Amino acid sequence: RKQFDIDSIRRDFPILQERVNGKPLIWLDNAATTQKPQSVIDRISYFYQHENSNIHRAAHELAARATDAYEGARSKVARFLNAPSTNEVVFVRGATEAINLVAKSWGRRHIGKDDEIVISWIEHHANIVPWQMLAAETGARLRVAPVDNDGQILLDEFEKLLNPKTRLVSITQVSNALGTITPTRQMVQMAHRYGARVLVDGAQSVSHMATDVQALDCDFFVFSGHKVFGPTGIGVLYGKPDALADSPPWQGGGNMIVDVTFEKTIYHAPPARFEAGTGNIADAVGLGAAIDYVESLGMENIARHEHDLLIYATNLLKTIPGLRLIGTAKEKASVMSFVLEGYKTEEVGAALNKEGIAVRSGHHCAQPALRRFGVETSVRPSLALYNNYDDVDALIAVLRKLKSNNA
Ligand code: PMP
């Protein structure tokens, strides 16, 4: 493909031909999940037609094919994150499971009474609740870095929270409720000065910008396959070798052992140590195909296209009377959260759905983030690489019509 050819890219996603309420589907719910290109759908189907087997254990042709496909996907993930080694890539169910793994494994070993865990005000519930559970269990304290009125982290306030008791900082790279791109790199540096480990939640960033875990220097990085054009039920925990080595197994079973007797079990090194039982082999392979797909377009090209579209859409949203944008940081990706005077958020969602336009309206599993701005719910269109200017124009037209009905 010569340029970032949006028409040709759209043809890669069969679901974009779907009609909803007699209208062509306009998918603007990418922060919830992304659609799948034909290459991902085909790759999963190919796996079940030609390669399906359990991995590692059996010594036959299909086991070898399945193992190669699964480990090949792990290599693609390592490349995608710029991780130095495939041993640093653990397959899990998704971002939620990855964070819970770190909390239950690394966290239980390294976080004790009166230790501190720092998160931010704009985290997804998946990056709040596991730490609350850990704090309740260990007597540790959860501290929350505030944001300014645009929804950006107040770095000075964040730094004030850090002290020698800080064991872990767990922050999102992009907020799913506001779209804020946080100053992740600086936060990692600050946290490391106090000897804390840092987990970066990449669930909302990996599909919108290039990821480089070495440049970020984070200790853990998590994401979900389904938000980067891959299947549901597969996700990734990246960990620095020493951080993973410092983490005990969290689930026991097959695959994760070297030797078992009734007296003693010897565990595998990471990543196998964290992959007890039969994993989601086919969907890991599908995730590998999704990574091939975005890399074929180029993450830089995707980021540029989405950035232009986000600015275009934001400027149009600002022209709608009575529309209040929530999350107005300078550094943003994909997400436009808003409320519209005179309408409940679910009414706006329903009006858009009538025109075939899918957006999320609700609390987006980030209640503290929205409450920071005095609302319980918002309407949340969110962009991905296949969205175009027509999608945005259609969104704006419905909102304008709602406002004129209500004038
Ligand atoms: N973190 C963020 C920032 C998210 O947006 C999401 C999904 N909305 C998650 C974590 C959890 O991802 P999953 O539900 O795929 O585990």
Q: What is the mean pLDDT of residues 271-295?
A: 98
What is the reported pLDDT for 56? Answer: 78
Asked whether the beta carbons of 29 and 360 are under 8 A apart, the reply is yes
Q: Where are the beta strands (DSSP E) in 93-212?
A: 116-120, 141-145, 166-172, 197-201
Q: Which pLDDT band, with edges at 50, 70 and 90, does 373 fall under?
A: very high
* Reported confidence tier of residue 407, pLDDT bands at 50, 70, 90: low
Residue with tokens 């909390």: 103
Amino acid letter for position 70: Y
Residue 143, φ and ψ in degrees, nearest 5: -120, 150
Mutate to test the pocket of ligand 1, among 34, 93, 119, 176 (most ligand atoms within 8 A of CB): 176
Q: How many angstroms is it from 329 CA to the middle of ligand 1? A: 21
Backbone angles phi, psi at 69, to 5 degrees: -65, -45
User: 339, 365, 366, 392: which one is catalytic?
Assistant: 365
pLDDT, residue 87, reads 98
Atom 4 of ligand 1, residue of closest alpha carbon: 203
Active site residue 365: yes
Q: What number does the ligand 1 atom closest to the CA of 126 have?
A: 10
Length of the chain: 407
Q: Which domains does the chain have, with CATH numbers?
A: 6-36+298-402 (3.90.1150.10), 42-295 (3.40.640.10)
Would you list the DSSP string of 330-345? SSB-SB-EEEETTS-H
pTM: 0.98
pLDDT confidence of residue 57: 67
φ, ψ of residue 323 in degrees (nearest 5): -95, 125
- Interatomic CA distance for residues 241 and 244, integer angstroms: 5
Pocket of ligand 1 (CB under 6 A): 94-96, 124, 126-127, 172, 176, 201, 203-204, 224, 365
Of all atoms in ligand 1, which is nearest to the CA of residue 224? 15
Please choose, from the candidates 158, 190, 216, 176, the residue with its C-alpha nearest in 3D space to the C-alpha of residue 30: 176
Tell me the DSSP string of 295-321: HHH-HHHHHHHHHHHHHHHHHHHTTST
Q: Residue 94 CA: which ligand 1 atom is closest? A: 16
Residue 296: other Cβ atoms inside 10 A: 11
Structure tokens of 55?
A: 């991995």
The H-or-E segment that residue 323 falls in is strand 323-326
- Which sign does the torsion angle of CA 283, 289, 291, 293 carry? negative
Q: Is the model's pLDDT at 3 over the cut of 90? A: no
Give the span between the Cα atoms of 263 and 342, in whole angstroms: 68
pLDDT (tens digit per residue) in 90-114: 999 999 999 999 999 999 999 999 9
pLDDT single digits (tens) 211-264: 999 999 999 999 999 999 999 999 999 999 999 999 999 999 998 999 999 999
Best residue among 119, 124, 335 to mutate for probing ligand 1, ranked by most atoms within 8 Å of CB: 124
What's the pLDDT at 405? 86
Query: Which atom in ligand 1 lies closest to the alpha carbon of residue 95?
Result: 16
Residue 1 has pLDDT above 60, yes or no: no
Residue 240 burial (CB < 10 Å; 0-12/13-18/19+)? buried
Mutate which of 34, 93, 96 to test ligand 1's pocket (most atoms within 8 Å of Cβ)? 96
> What percent of the chain has pLDDT above 70?
99
Average confidence (pLDDT) over 195-200: 98
Nearest to 191 by CA among 209, 213, 212, 216: 216
Percent residues over pLDDT 90 in the chain: 97
Residue 300 pLDDT exceeds 70: yes
Distance 54 CA to ligand 1 centre (A): 28
Which helix (H) or strand (E) is 362 found in, with range? strand 360-362
- Give the residue, by CA position, lying nearest to ligand 1 atom 14: 96
pLDDT tens across 144-178, in order?
Answer: 999 999 999 999 999 999 999 999 999 999 999 99
Is residue 406 scored above 80 in pLDDT? no
Spatial separation of the C-alpha atoms in residues 117 and 165, rounded to whole Å: 9
